[in-house]
Amino acid sequence: DLILQALLADATVTEVHALCRKPLALSHPKLRVHLVDFQRLPALPPVDEAYLALGTTIHDAGSQDAFRAVDLHMNLAVAQAAAAAGAQRLGVVSAVDAHPQARAFYNRVKGELEAALKAMPLQALVVAQPSLLLDDRRRVGQRTRWGEVFAIPLAKALGRWLPARYRPVYGEQVARALVQAMRQAQGVTVLPSDQMARQRRGG
């Protein structure tokens, strides 16, 4: 997970608790892995901040209700559990055009999550709204999405002519921008795709 890697590389972070459905192929002195059922979360250890990046597709979930259960309800459950454990700062990976009244179901669910998080009594909420992600999903252990196989080369070619918030971005850039923004954020901060795309990669 790219957010996890960014946090482990951050010298200001002393301990990272990762909630997972299965064991991680990663170990680190700062990392504490918790295998959990996201529908029945246990009480979490004390934390200062939390990051929400649970997501699926309607194809993988099998239905709109199952998609909503992951992208909305499970993320919100983690946010509430983290707040109960002391977190006053949350970062979330959302999507461009997310809005509770969006016509597209995907954007509507993302918008509903954003609205629910904004209603929580937090010190800071950082919302990353990436457009198309340019990563090869096979390299990060995810199933290939065939629509992206055609969309990614086109987006790379046309990126500079696209409206700023629709410019494609790499997942690593999203993760780095989100972690960096959490350091000093106050209130609600929205990170548009073009702003995150200015992050350096690698190193």
> pLDDT, tens digit, for every residue of 71-130?
999 999 999 999 999 999 999 999 999 999 999 999 999 999 999 999 999 999 999 999
Q: What is the pLDDT of residue 155?
A: 52
> How far is the C-alpha of 142 from the C-alpha of 177, rounded, in Å?
22
Q: What are phi and psi of 179, to 5 degrees?
A: -65, -40
pLDDT tens profile 11-52: 999 999 999 999 998 999 999 999 999 999 999 999 999 999
Q: What is the pLDDT of residue 158?
A: 55
The pTM assigned to this predicted structure is 0.87
Q: Does residue 182 register a pLDDT over 50?
A: yes
CB under 8 A, 24+ apart: contacts of 154-157 = 155/131
Q: Which residue has the higher pLDDT, 138 or 98?
A: 98
Q: How many Cα atoms sit within 13 Å of 143 on the Cβ side?
A: 9
Residues pairing with 18 in the sheet:
33
Q: What is the pLDDT of residue 146?
A: 41
Q: Which residue has the higher pLDDT, 57 or 82?
A: 82
Q: What is the pLDDT of residue 79?
A: 98
Inter-residue contact 68 to 110 (CB < 8 Å):
no
CB under 8 A, 24+ apart: contacts of 60-63 = 60/143
Write the Ramachandran bin of 161: left for phi over 0, alpha for psi from -120 to 50, otherwise beta: alpha
> How far is the C-alpha of 182 from the C-alpha of 161, rounded, in Å?
30
